[in-house]
Amino acid sequence: MIKIRAPELYRDSGAYEARKRQSLRARYIYGLIFFATNLLAWFIRDYGAKLLGGLHHIPVCGAGDSKCFRSGGVLRVSLGCFIFFWVMFATTFGTRKLQGVRNSWHSGCWTLKFLVYAVSIVTPFIIPNIFIQLYGEIARMGAGIFLILQLISMLHLISWCNKRWMPYAGSNQCGLFGLFLSTVSFIASFAGILVLYILYVPNSSCMFNIFTIIWTAVLVKIMMAVSLHSKVNEGLLSSGIMGSYIVFLCWSALHSEPRTGKCYTEMKIGKDGNWATIISFIIAICSIVSATFSTGINNRSFQFRSDKIQLEEDAPYSYEIFHIVFAVGAMYFAMLFISWELNHPITRKWSIDVGWASTWVKIMNEWLAFCIYGKPPFPVVSMQLY
């Protein structure tokens, strides 16, 4: 974006800078709210029935644990989070300037917003269960949309890295750092494939795992070959980073296989195996929040043009895109906590995103990433929306 300072705003530049800093800080507060909501969903799923027994007296909850605890509790907390960020989306839609009520509402008024958040979280616990089940079906689609948005954001990052560190025709740039990153990315990709084979193929009967790992290796080699083709000739950096990403998706898919499977190798650290599980769970929650936050703040990935002139008084990012990403992110974390299963969810304590449904979602996401990346005329560039 091209930034210019309007002459008539010189004297107000200090006020605009203060508002801009306040707006940028607000993103982290929303991120903390989202993180706290993830923890609340986990708490209600694993410990709600034991520690929040008073909810059984609410008519819609009844005597069982499935409607307001376990998977039902996760969906209700997710719906509350979705309502909050949808309200923020609706009330900040079209905000383009730092002055005005809507900008102040986005960046401040936290006492009132925490009240809105509390009402949003409580409201789903008085909604009949049939509407919660309907929300669960919608949340599946919303979570799929979130994965696509995350993929677009990832491709935008790869394109930026390729333009930043790889030389283009007619330039004097040597591109040594880009070559170094390319080498590291491909070494990491193929080393990762080898590690996956060691961890997730304990015997020759694990044909599904063998096929998934080998097919991932084939996809990485295809991307390398496409990037080096004479009609493309864009270097190895973009394909190297994308290769590492799909290897990560392959690991995530295999790690989501049911723990009772014959091909699952449980890794324990001595007598502290439970601690390893807890640490893995915390890392998973942080990854959800990080993915949602990074996708929400990467507004340029979802803009149709980048040549718009930005004045000093303009908002530093799109508030409505930021909030709508967090809204669908609420649907996404619900699917991870119930493993994409609405009727027979796997809700073991300290587990997240485990089951065959989760595995296939990630495999399909890996294949989709490859297909979008390799779309002609050139990988990554064809996915830019601006």
pLDDT in tens, 42-61: 998 888 877 777 776 777 77
pLDDT higher than 70, residue 251? yes
Q: What confidence score (pLDDT) does residue 379 get?
A: 45
Quote the CA–CA distance of 318 and 137 in Å, as a whole number. 28
Q: What confidence score (pLDDT) does residue 4 get?
A: 47
pLDDT higher than 70, residue 2? no
pLDDT higher than 80, residue 221? yes
Quote the CA–CA distance of 232 and 239 in Å, as a whole number. 12
Q: What confidence score (pLDDT) does residue 151 get?
A: 86
pLDDT higher than 50, residue 206? yes
Quote the CA–CA distance of 119 and 124 in Å, as a whole number. 9
Quote the CA–CA distance of 44 and 40 in Å, as a whole number. 6
pLDDT higher than 80, residue 294? no
The residues facing 202 across adjacent strands are: none
The residue-averaged pLDDT of 120-132 equals: 92
Q: What confidence score (pLDDT) does residue 12 get?
A: 61
pLDDT tens, position by position, 149-195? 888 888 888 877 877 777 665 555 666 777 888 889 889 999 999 99
The residue ranking higher by pLDDT, 136 or 173, is 136
Q: What confidence score (pLDDT) does residue 180 get?
A: 86
The Cβ of residue 183 has, within 10 Å, a number of other Cβ atoms equal to 13
The residue ranking higher by pLDDT, 46 or 278, is 46
Q: What confidence score (pLDDT) does residue 9 get?
A: 43
The residue ranking higher by pLDDT, 331 or 283, is 331
Q: Where are the domains of the chain?
A: 13-374
Quote the CA–CA distance of 235 and 178 in Å, as a whole number. 9
In contact, 189 and 247? CB cutoff 8 Å: yes
Q: What confidence score (pLDDT) does residue 284 get?
A: 74
The residue-averaged pLDDT of 104-117 equals: 93
pLDDT higher than 90, residue 213? yes
3-state SS, residue 67: coil
- Give the percent of the chain with pLDDT over 90: 31
